[in-house]
Structures are given as C-alpha cells and as structure tokens.
Amino acid sequence: MNYEQILSRLCALSGPSGFEGPAAEAAADLLRPLVDQVYFTRLGSVVGVHRCGRDNAPKLLLDAHLDEIGFIVTGHEEGFLRFAPLGGVDPRMLPDREVTILTAPPVTGVVACLPPHVQTAENMDKSLPIKDLYIDVGLSQEEAEQRIPIGTPATYRGGCSPLGEELLQGKALDDRAGFAILLDVLERLEDKPLNVDLYVLGSTQEETHSTGAITAAYEIAPSLCVAVDVTHGDSPDTSKNETFTLGGGPVIGVGPNCARSLSGRLRELAGDLDMSVQIEVMPGSSGTNAWPIQVSREGVATAVLSIPERYMHTPVEVVHKQDLEDTARLLAAFVERLGEGEPIC
C-alpha cells in the first residue's frame, strides 16, 4: 500500500462531520476493486462487503471514520463570516489559519487575526473563543450573503505530504489514516480463505456523535468489530505516561470497551508476528466508534486498534508510516485467523 499516495488523495478532500460526501465518494471508489459490494447508508457512510462464501458466516465489522473536524457558517458581519465548530476544534489553532468554505466552487478564507503590534500583552497570552473570531473571505456584505449562505460548512485548508523520511503530515489523518489501513487490510486478504463475512465501514459524523457508526452497525448487525482510530502521539511537550511513541507500533486498547478475548488475540498475534505493540488502558469510553457499536442491538464484541498521532485535531496531524503498515499487517492476520480452531467470539 502506497500510504502517501492514498492519503494525499483522501486528505485533500473536505469532509467535515455531516458533510462527508466527497471523502465518502473517494472512499467508495477505492473500495470497489477490493470487495464484492459497495453501498452507502442513509447517513452517508460507505460500506464495503467482502464475503467469505460460507453460509450464515459471522460478520466482522472494521470501522474507520471519514469525517474531520470543521466549521459551519452562522452569520455575516461586514463581509466577514461568523462560524461555529463541527467537532472538537481547538480555538488556539484558528487565528491566521487558511480555511476552505464549501460552496460551489469553494471559497478560500482566512481566520482574522490582530497583528501583535496592536494587541495588549495580556491579550497576546490568551486564545480567543470561537464566538469572537471571524473568517475573512475578501467579499462585501452583499457578496458574502449571496455566495456563502448561513449553514455552509468549512474545513482547514490542506492535504497530506511527507515529513522527513518516515512521517506523514496533514489534515484529517484522524481518521483517514485509519481508513487507508482498512484498504491495506483488504489488499493483504485478497484471495485468502476467511471464516467471516468482512464489512469495512467508512463512517460519518464520528467527530460530532458517532451517528454514522451507530446506524451502520445497527443495519449490519455484526458479531464483532474492530474500530481503527488514532491516539495521542509523543512529543517533547507531552506526558510520556499519556502518549504513545510514533514508530513504536500499533496501540491495542484494553478496558471495558474492549472485549478481553479480542484484545488478547491481537496481543498474541503481535507476538507471533514479532511485532512491537503498545497498550492503552481505556478505563471508560474509548472515545472511538467502538463505544456506541459495543451496545448496538444485543451487543457487539469490540476491540480498539489505534495509530499514534501527534497534534490531533489540528490542521497538521502527524503519523509514522511504519505504524500504518504494522497496524494493517496485524489486523489482516487477525481477520485471516478468526475461527481457526476456536469460536469466533
């Protein structure tokens, strides 16, 4: 899998929560050569189905969300745009940041920022709340009202590119890096005999309420699920006890949101593959789609497999290519060996 190429394509597309159309269409195009069927749910999630050919086979769901954090226009003021966040936007990231307003055609904007020359020392040390920020789109009041209606979504402007030899940087790596891993898993499983029907879900609206995963899981009714998402990566300004090493391998979640049988299998497989993994204790909600999927219908055995990521929910997130490849290798082995000599769940 050429992760740089796939993520350059996926991350360049805008897909804030509730407005994932372009990203979902691209995800569907990438899925079609690898699965037997591709379809969209009512809420816009994309599903790829790889059938094993066995009657009444158990269903395994692999989930990675396609949406990204973003913004929505709430008003106009002298040609500038008022806006609100879609998902967990950090207001410290916003001043002087380029954004893409999702009109047709898109409009580029810049979040307004006072230069330091006219700020007080006290204000320079503070981040402004989003309600006090504006987006400058270079239009008059009349033009802005006509071209950019209230309710128009927006995202950070950007894509994905290399950072040094081993890292990738860009927007929306949370969680399009996870979806790229699922594509890699499908490639690795091509022509391999399986004991499960495999459902690959590119879910919508994870950043706001996991609505896409909740509804898709109800429709698919899987026996078990692995949610692939990002977790906090290490940097000099972070606690080593709360972050995970980029290049240190996949992160396996353990806790009430993670079935011990599935987490245990992943850990055992990593040993068989001579692969380094990291363990994240999740004492409550995992903060991923695994949390609502676990209680879908009569319950789903869930696991969480994460990628260490620096600068989560910022315009420039960073991941390690080897972590992506190792996560795909581990997950493919997990899928391939399900049902070999022991119950599925």
Please list the active-site residues: 206
Q: 127, 92 in Cβ contact below 8 A?
A: yes
Nearest CA-CA partner of 134 in 87, 99, 102, 185: 99
CA quadruple 328, 306, 67, 237: dihedral positive or negative? negative
Euclidean distance between CA atoms 28 and 14, whole angstroms: 15
Euclidean distance between CA atoms 197 and 208, whole angstroms: 29
CB-based contacts of 77: which residues, under 8 Å, 6+ apart? 134, 141
Euclidean distance between CA atoms 250 and 178, whole angstroms: 11
Q: 94, 130 in Cβ contact below 8 A?
A: yes
Euclidean distance between CA atoms 239 and 245, whole angstroms: 11
Nearest CA-CA partner of 5 in 39, 30, 36: 30
Phi/psi for 182 (5° steps) reads -65, -35
Element holding 167 (H helix, E strand)? strand 167-170
